[in-house]
Structure 1
Amino acid sequence: MTPRKTSALDEQNKTEEVLVVGAGPAGLMAADALLSRGYPVLLAEAKPSPARKFLMAGKSGLNLTKIEADETFRSAYGSGSAALSPMLDTFGPEEVRDWAEGLGQDTFVGSTGRLFPVAMKGSPLLRAWLARLDAMGLRRRTRWRWEGWENQASLFTTPEGRQPVTPRATVLALGGASWARLGSDGRWADHFASAGLSVAPFAPSNAGLTIHWSGHMTPHLGRPLKNIRLSAGTLTSRGEVTLSAHGLEGGGLYPLTPALRDGATLAIDLFPDLDTSSLTKRIEKPRGKQSLSNHLRKTLKLSPQVQALMMEFARPLPTDPGALARLLKALPIPHDGPRPMDEPISTAGGVPFDSLDTGLMLRARPGTFCAGEMLDWEAPTGGYLLTACLATGFWAGRHAAGWLEKGA
């Protein structure tokens, strides 16, 4: 009889590898931490190639982190700051810079404190990282979709069929629930629920806002609103947004998503560098026979899109200069909430920190650690998201190694 050929699956069961599920930044960093401690790692990814969301984000300039005062940096994580602090202490902005430069990617700090690789793209950094991990012995499997557990085994659907894997330890870095085409579809939450594990409901984060424009806005769609301040609830943000066919998009809006998804009103300060009194004095200048709209356009140097926005939501404009100034300092923008779940850059919700120990290990499943966007935290864009994904991946990988070293 011809001996049965040994498969890759047989080999991994023999060597009792550590399993990392998800090849985004958090999963890759967990694998890096484990390999650095001498543990063989099998990395399973549902998509045909790793880090697709990372590469997409890098197409417009890969913002790695934000170099700023520690207190300011931590405040970006809102209610998640306390839980993430130990991880950011270990792998924060300076460590992100050292990591990138250690992979041969020179970096620079932009005028707003954002750190970028000189190449600006994610692909050179990812190639260098994967080459290093492969040289350390990483074993990669793609098109392997995690389908939950059967006793102690993780189950996968693969091109070769259904595959169980029973590792000594597991790090799950399964992502959030946005950009499903790139791998983050949130399907893992159903498997957690089937296993009796709690998951906070997903919610959009860093999301565009749905606004139903009237027809007169059509010529202005695609144009930016610059030099504005936005506010919703207790949150404020200074940045640019774009008028889109579906509403508003842009980095200036994204930090307000927690308040906007709870129904807070959006208000835009169209003149953030002028106080109400100074703006009133400008409006009070004699306008002669000009219409009020022409007077405002010339006196306040309004762009066509700003004029259109005013007409959309503030017509008829108050004739009293003081009342008009107050309106332009806080123009209310009615909306129908954030864009649908798959469109935002990231999501809130996921595995609650109280279901994990301090090493990010599931209390109900010893030996299984969680990292990245699948954890219940959120942060605005600008380097905060990526930094915390790397930090939690490093933390989970390091603590998985520590757990194994204790002979668990």
Structure 2
Amino acid sequence: MSERIEIDALVVGAGPAGLMAAEVISAAGHDVLVAEAKPSPARKFLMAGKSGLNLTKNEPMERFLDAYAPLHPTLRNALEAFGPQEVIAWAEGLGQDIFTGSSGRVFPKAMKASPLLRAWLARLEARGVTMRRNWRMVGLGNVTEFDTPEGPVCMQAKTVILALGGASWARLGSNGAWVDMVSPFAQIAPFTPSNVGLLLDWTPHMTRHFGRPVKGVKLTAGAFESRGEFVISKRGLEGGGIYAVTRGLREGATLTLDLLPDWDEEKVKQALIQRKTKETLTKFLKRALRLTPEKIALVMECAGPQPNDLMTALKALKITAAQLRPMDEAISTAGGVRFESLTERLESRIKPGLFFAGEMLDWDAPTGGYLLTACPATGRLAGQGALTKLS
């Protein structure tokens, strides 16, 4: 027989979005229970922090918001209320020393997620928030049903906030398995990979370049551009520069590289006519244009050892036959619960009292602090909506 528990607010999912919703609601004095399917909370958050926790991007607000284009008004409202400056203040309020790098990216000085998460969980515990681990949601309706180590549990909650993640990194808990349970209460856009590497079948001559970074390149895919670096890997290309143009690649655009983005075509043309008669292309590109071995290798691989149009190969090198890696290898996903089926406080229009937050919502953004900022921002907005309902 199922145990039945009544509570003011039930938060399902203990990532940054769910924890922020719990923070908002508990700060107003309401009872909150957070149910997490995994043995420990915020696993994807901790994984993201292994290489340095990029909390947000400290830049003018309109430029920051441009990273989310096309930007739904509800997400804009959430980000304007809890944007880069608010994220910094929030982290500092948890005792974390923060610094901003030369690129505008914001990190805790500890360069880890674990100290911040420990301080956050301690604050929630002090406010009376109950955390339940290994609770897997199996039913959503008049009650929310869970499989737990102690047996089935039915939660009767006045408000429910779902923050279940997208459909990438299934081993960390984001697997999109909630779609069938949620679809009666909200419209859902199909999931697609975002911030993901490219698969390419390299010829053997590329082997010695595996693991090498490529810098000083402009990448273009449709309407999306990036000046970030990327890495040549055994399976293709990966890294921030690639991730920033994923949206264009997903729409079918071809990846184009400008290997000399700081040179205009006239300057390149003048350099090309200076090639010596018996000089090999490799030596010429290295001497006259100062291309790195990795850039030269990409020219040879994608335009051939003797390109017919060297200008195009240098200024608009097309990477054809590339495919996006599988969704579970993506850092994030696009798709999810459509904003159109929710109110401006992220409440289901079909089922009052049911709210949504975080990556399970249908939005997209590149890495670099944008992904992480939108999760607590939407969690905060959903928490405020739940407070309105509770009052």
Give the residue type in structure 2 aligned to 1:330.
A
User: What is the distance in 1 between the residues matched to 2:371 and 2:210?
Assistant: 28
- 1:166 lines up with 2:152 in the alignment: no
Question: Identical aligned pairs, as a percentage?
Answer: 55
Aligned residues: 390
Q: Which has the larger radius of gyration?
A: 1
Within the candidate set 230, 244, 262, 2:233 is matched to 244
Shift of 1:370: 0.2
Q: Which residue of 1 aligns with 2:52?
A: 61
Name the SS of the counterpart of 1:33 in structure 2: helix
> For residue 329 of structure 1, what is the aligned residue in structure 2?
315
Which stretch has the larger CA shift, 294-303 or 227-236?
294-303
Residues 1:402 and 2:388 aligned together: yes
Equivalent of residue 192 in structure 1, options 159, 173, 182: 182
Amino acid in the other structure paired with 2:89: D
Aligned to 2:35: 44
- Note the 1:120-135 alignment, pairs <5 A: 120-135=111-126
**AA of the residue aligned to 1:153:** V
The answer to whether residue 352 in structure 2 is matched with residue 366 in structure 1 is yes
Contact 1:74–1:81, Cα closer than 8 Å, also in 2: no
Query: Which residue, 337, 341, 360 being the options, matches 1:355?
Result: 341
Deviation at 1:82, TM superposition (A): 2.7
Whether 1:212 and 2:201 are equivalent positions in the alignment is yes
Tell me the TM-score normalized by structure 2. 0.97
Choose the corresponding residue for 2:10, options 16, 19, 27: 19
Pair 1:182 & 2:172 matched: yes
Partner of 1:303: 292
Q: Is residue 342 of structure 1 aligned with residue 328 of structure 2?
A: yes
Give the AA of the match of 1:69.
Answer: P
Match of 1:80 among 60, 68, 71: 71
Structure 1 pair 196/32, CA: closer, same or farther in 2 (3 Å)? closer
Q: TM-score under structure 1 normalisation?
A: 0.93
Structure 1: gaps spanning 5 or more residues: 1-6
Corresponding residue number in structure 1 for 2:282: 293
- The residue number in structure 2 matching 1:3 is none
The CA RMSD measured in Å over matched residues stands at 1.4
For residue 95 of structure 2, what is the aligned residue in structure 1?
104
Query: Post-superposition shift, 1:244?
Result: 1.2
Contact preservation (8 Å) 1:155, 1:163: yes
Q: Answer yes or no: is the 8 Å Cα contact 1:65–1:386 preserved in 2.
A: yes
Q: Distance in 2 between matches of 1:286 and 1:348?
A: 47
Offset, 1:196: 5.8
Matched, 1:157 2:147: yes
Mapped partners of 1:351, 1:196: distance in 2: 10
Single out whichever of 158-167 and 369-378 deviates more from structure 2: 158-167
Counterpart amino acid of residue 321 in structure 2: H
Give the Cα–Cα distance (whole angstroms) in 1 for the partners of residues 109 and 297 of structure 2. Answer: 39
Q: CA deviation at 1:77?
A: 0.4
- Tell me the SS of whatever aligns to 1:169: strand
The partner residue of 1:283 within 255, 272, 288 is 272
Match of 1:379 in 2: 365
The separation in 2 between residues aligned to 1:155 and 1:260, in whole angstroms, is 39
Residue 4 of structure 1: aligned partner = none
Letter of the aligned partner of 2:24 in structure 1? A
